[in-house]
Structure 1
Amino acid sequence: MATPSDRERAAITRLENLFLGLQASRYVGLDRRVQRPVFLKPQGHARGVFTIRPDLPAELRVGVFALEESSAWVRFSSDTSPQIPDAANATLGLAIKLLDVPGPKLLGGEEQALTHDFVLQNHDVFFVDDAETFADFTEVSLASAEAFEAFLASHPDTARILQEMAKEEDSALLARYSSTVPYAFGDRFVKYALRPRADSCDPPPVPKEKRGPNHLRRDLRRRLLERGARFDFFLQFQKDPESMPLEKATVRWSEELSPLIQVATLELPAGQDIDTPGQPEAIDNLSYSPWHALPEHAPVGSINRARRAVYKASADYRRRRNHVPIGEPSEAV
């Protein structure tokens, strides 16, 4: 795996400072609690069961995929502030925290935790290639509209991907999710994908003209109470390092060259209420990180190396200022 250059390290430090500054400014401007720097509009949390295919071949039984099943907490969110209506076409995030996963974890300070995280969103590529460009993007996006437009004009791939990402979803439970960036799979490399199962797509979505500003949360609550949901979890292996690079996060990996392989199912049982008193606050205090993972599933690529530092710094700052102890959940949460 690539070693970060001095320029990448400097970019990661810039990103840490930018995101921590953003969190500090929101601490003053919202409800006196420090918010996440990204994906801070919570749509809801759900209990789930992550079940490995019983007929999974031995060569795919690596890391968490060597288990039979794990309980999970799942966070659905939008990459916008809570005041922004869902019709604004913000990117959706889905984070899975598996419970009772033995083995050391990669994230500093959480090596002995019995949890493992998957962090996904509803688009299959990232909007910049590397940490340096990510830092430049973040700086101009916080500077002025003029600087941001000039950046997009000089980075047409970023502009195109941001347009692709600006899609309104009918339901957080009907969206298709991806890791967007690659991970190790033992001595190979993969991306993850999560797709809703056809047998869990009823009832039909509410028509657009009848949706309110928080329709995604209402839809999530309704579906989980009535039907629950089921997703298939897939691996996509890197077959060609040239056309499926690890260090260029804007490059889409071809499903024709490397078809998705279904390896597990995520089931969210029916009858659970995301508005149960106390539960939303308790679960939203949790942090999710691509690096809260077994070594067999180590994140790879420049964007993931930036995430390691930025996610941890942001989570530590949020917990410290909100007086939330560091810790991972159990089934009792």
Structure 2
Amino acid sequence: MTGTAPIRFSPSLETIDPDETEVVAGLNEAFDTILQRTAEDYGHAVRSVHAKSHGILKGTMEVHDGLPPELAQGLFAKPGRYTAFLRMSTNAGDILPDTISLPRGLAIKIVGVEGERLAGAHGVSQDFVMVNGPVFQAKTADKFLKNLKLLAKTTDRMEGTKVVMSSVLRGVNTALEAVGLSSSAVQSLGGAPNVDPLGETYFSVTPFRYGDHVAKFRVKPVSPDLTRRTGTIIDTSASEDAIRETVQAEMRDTQAVWEFQVQLCRDLEAQPIEDPTVEWKEEDAPFLTVATLAAAPQDSWSPEQVQKVNEEMRFSVWTGLAAHQPLGNINRARREPYEHSAGFRARFNGCPILEPQG
């Protein structure tokens, strides 16, 4: 299978559901519930998902030279070195104590990327939004909306109960994993292990255009300072912000290096476009390294970077090049809610959302 030629991109690869507009309206409504409730409580608007940040890093992306034609596409068409901002987070829409364990997120903004932009994508950045698991929790946006409504109902409700629920769900997920199963739905509601985000591998989960082809993305830790933290559980009993404090302490002397990898679609049945709950198996579609991400030792919670990145930036899969157009129902449904959430934050906080200009 690995010798199979990659699928050529075509707009016909996507299947548009007739109810997508109504589902997006429902997503905006659910996000509004989360945004308004948290903003009223905090006196400050936060993101509707991945509200809590554990670390902000400034680094570089270096696109490798000599890539074969099928990999030399879009941002990766030619070698280059770019400034990169990385935001590590947890996926809830309210800022919870770290004892409530949830999946990790990694948002990346690559600055100074030239080329034809996606419609409405301002600036010169290419964003990648990832989580520490290879599949999405719902097949379609309408199913995700059902989960989101549940999260909206529990936003800022019975925090102590959430801690208990998280502990119970961790036990459920551990039991599933013991028999070779894992539930992304359980993890999304608070059953993920409290792992160190610096040691995690992150996945785009959904597919994207990759120039002439179609791909998913992965960021894999490779430097010893990162790989020795893979799977390490953080003790969150001492502080509500234990993960942030751990990352900040570790990054004082950590040389962080990740490989940025591409997984080309080679079989539309084995690697479907419209179902992100299906894992694209690596033996069928291997991950291939196209760039290196690096961050030198730094203060991962410096006031300047927190203001610049956490408050004044947004991350969206729809910010970037036309050559990396998001594909599939889930990605299409992300476009308007991402803008909706960022617009709410900007208005409530009186702080415009800015795209770095190079």
Above 0.5 in TM-score?
yes
2:22 alignment partner in structure 1: 10
Q: 1:140 to 1:212 in 2, by over 3 A?
A: closer
2:141 alignment partner in structure 1: 131
* Secondary structure at 1:319 match in 2: helix
TM alignment of 1:49-64, pairs within 5 A: 49-64=60-75
Q: CA deviation at 1:27?
A: 1.2
- TM superposition score normalised by structure 2: 0.81
> Of 170, 173, 180, which residue of structure 1 is paired with 2:198?
173
Q: CA deviation at 1:316?
A: 1.3
What fraction of aligned residue pairs are identical, expressed as a percent? 29
- TM superposition score normalised by structure 1: 0.87
Q: CA deviation at 1:276?
A: 2.5
* Secondary structure at 2:62 match in 1: strand
1:182 alignment partner in structure 2: 207
> Of 153, 163, 184, which residue of structure 2 is paired with 1:161?
184
Equivalenced residue count is 317
Distance 1:5 1:16 in 2: 18
The yes-or-no answer on 1:29 pairing with 2:11 is: no
Distance 2:93 2:184 in 1: 21
Write the letter of the residue equivalent to 1:96: I
* Secondary structure at 1:191 match in 2: strand
Q: CA deviation at 1:128?
A: 0.5
Distance 1:293 1:328 in 2: 11
Structure 2 segments unaligned to the other structure (5+ residues) = 1-10, 158-181
Q: CA deviation at 1:210?
A: 7.5
Distance 1:180 1:161 in 2: 12
1:149 alignment partner in structure 2: none
Query: Which stretch of the first structure deviates more once superposed, 288-297 or 194-203?
Result: 194-203
The yes-or-no answer on 1:88 pairing with 2:100 is: yes
Write the letter of the residue equivalent to 1:180: V
Q: CA deviation at 1:207?
A: 6.5
* Secondary structure at 2:19 match in 1: helix
Counterpart contact for 1:107–1:292, Cα < 8 Å: no
Counterpart contact for 2:110–2:125, Cα < 8 Å: yes
Q: CA deviation at 1:49?
A: 0.5
The yes-or-no answer on 1:263 pairing with 2:290 is: yes
1:273 alignment partner in structure 2: 299
* Secondary structure at 1:59 match in 2: coil
> Of 35, 45, 55, which residue of structure 2 is paired with 1:44?
55
How large is the RMSD of aligned CA atoms in angstroms?
2.6
1:100-150 superposed Cα distances (whole Å, 9 cap, x missing partner):
111232252x44x111101111111111011121223323444579xxxxx
